[in-house]
Structure formats: C-alpha cells, structure tokens
C-alpha cells in the first residue's frame, strides 16, 4: 500500500520534527539526555479474526482427481487489529500461531474493482505515536491451513514479532462477521 507507506513516512517525519523541536526548545534539564520521548510502549487493540471452518471438516485428501486431489484449497482466515506505535517507529515483521500451518503478513489492494492479495514485503510499518490498522480490505495476518475450526466467541493466541519492540503475545477474539 503505497499511500500507507507515504503516510507512515510522512507521519514519522512529522513526529521526528516534533521531537527535535521539543528537544531544541523548552528542554528541561531532564529531557536533554538521549532524544527518547516518553517511553510509552506499543499497544495492540481490537484483535479479532473471522470465524472459519477447520481442516477437520474436510475429507481426507485421498479423493479422486475430480474432488481436487492433493492440491485442494486449505481453510484460511485472517486476523485484524490496531497497532499504536510508541515513541519510536516500529515494524511488525512476523506473526505465529498454533491454529494454522502457516501464518503470513498480507495486504489487499482494490484497483478498478479488482481485488489483489499479496504478501507484505519487509513487514508492516507502525508509525511512532501513530497507528496502523489491520482490517478487511487492507493489511491482515493470514492464517493458511487452519488446523482447527475458528468458532465465533472463542479465542486463540498469536505471537507477533516487532523489529524493535520484540515479541508480543496477543489474544485473538473470533468473531462471526454475521452482524
């Protein structure tokens, strides 16, 4: 998402300018030391995933060629959340969970009515003192090959790795999108 890139970079510059001018200006003796703004950590809120069937609802992949054979689509789902940056810009670089065979960072682009899903190269930027939203139609954490059914109302854990903040464990609420 180019716009988002530009936006987050833009925000980063704004924040940087704000931090620099804050340091240069009314610098109290205590604030002179390293230019580390209030060390408010990164916060992750509104973490949810779309309810979806698991692999156990699938027949064993011994089926005939007409049934799709070994290459049948695996059940998938996606995890969404809002990540609010702390004083420093950060980047979500990896996600893991035991509910799926593979967990990847993806984004969706809609252009001229065409939906394209792509893996995110290099991670999802979290702007300093700003936020990034993983939401339908945009960034998501893709769960590929669900090992269990994701039932609305239940929960599971996802381990997120950030470039600077390190590993954060979050609990994902499974929601039926039927509302």
Q: Which is nearer to other proteins, 10 or 69 (CB)?
A: 69
Q: Which residue, 135 or 168, has its beta carbon nearer to other proteins?
A: 135
Nearest to 46 by CA among 170, 168, 141, 160: 170
Name which of other proteins, Cu ion, none residue 3 binds, using a CB cut-off of 5 to 8 Å depending on partner kind.
none
Site for other proteins in 39-98 (CB under 8 A): 50, 53, 57-59, 63, 66-69, 71-76, 78
What's the burial of 77, exposed, middle or buried (CB within 10 Å: 0-12/13-18/19+)?
buried
Tell me whether residue 15 or residue 50 sits nearer to Cu ion (CB atom). 50
* Helix, strand, coil fractions of the chain, as percent rounded to 5: 20, 40, 40
Q: Give me the least distance between CB of 106 and other proteins, in Å please.
A: 6
Does position 119 interact with other proteins (CB under 8 A)? The reply is yes
Q: Which does 116 bind (CB under 5 to 8 A by kind): Cu ion, other proteins, none?
A: other proteins
How far is the C-alpha of 33 from the C-alpha of 96, rounded, in Å?
37
CA angle 120, 122, 123 (to 5 degrees): 65
Strands (E) across the chain are located at: 43-50, 76-84, 90-96, 100-111, 114-119, 124-126, 131-134, 140-146, 155-162, 166-175
Nearest-angstrom CA–CA distance, 17 and 22? 8
Among 43, 137, 166, 169, binds other proteins (CB under 8 A): 137
Size of site (CB under 8 A) for other proteins: 40
* Total of residues contacting Cu ion (CB under 5 A): 3
* Beta carbon of residue 112, minimum distance to other proteins (angstroms, whole number): 7
By CB under 5 A, what part of segment 76-115 binds Cu ion?
106
Closest residue by Cα to residue 140 from 116, 119, 159: 119
Q: Decide if residue 20 touches other proteins (CB under 8 A).
A: no
Binding site for other proteins (CB under 8 A): 50, 53, 57-59, 63, 66-69, 71-76, 78, 101-102, 104, 106, 108, 110, 112-119, 136-137, 140, 142, 144-145, 177-179
């Amino acid at each position: 998402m180019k716009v988002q890139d530009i936006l987050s970079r833009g925000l980063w510059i704004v924040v940087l300018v704000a931090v620099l001018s804050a340091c240069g200006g009314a610098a109290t003796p205590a604030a002179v030391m390293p230019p580390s703004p209030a060390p408010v950590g990164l916060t992750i809120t509104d973490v949810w995933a779309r309810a979806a069937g698991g692999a156990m609802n699938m027949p064993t992949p011994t089926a005939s060629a007409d049934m799709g054979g070994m290459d049948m689509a695996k059940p998938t789902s996606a995890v969404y959340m809002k990540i609010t940056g702390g004083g420093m810009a950060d980047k979500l670089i990896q996600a893991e969970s035991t509910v799926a065979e593979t967990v990847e960072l993806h984004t969706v682009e809609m252009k001229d009515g065409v939906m394209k899903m792509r893996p995110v190269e290099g991670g999802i930027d979290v702007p300093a003192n700003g936020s990034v939203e993983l939401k339908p139609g945009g960034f998501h954490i893709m769960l590929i090959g669900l090992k269990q059914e994701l039932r609305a109302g239940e929960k599971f854990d996802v381990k997120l790795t950030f470039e600077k903040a390190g590993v954060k464990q979050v609990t994902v609420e499974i929601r039926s999108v039927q509302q």
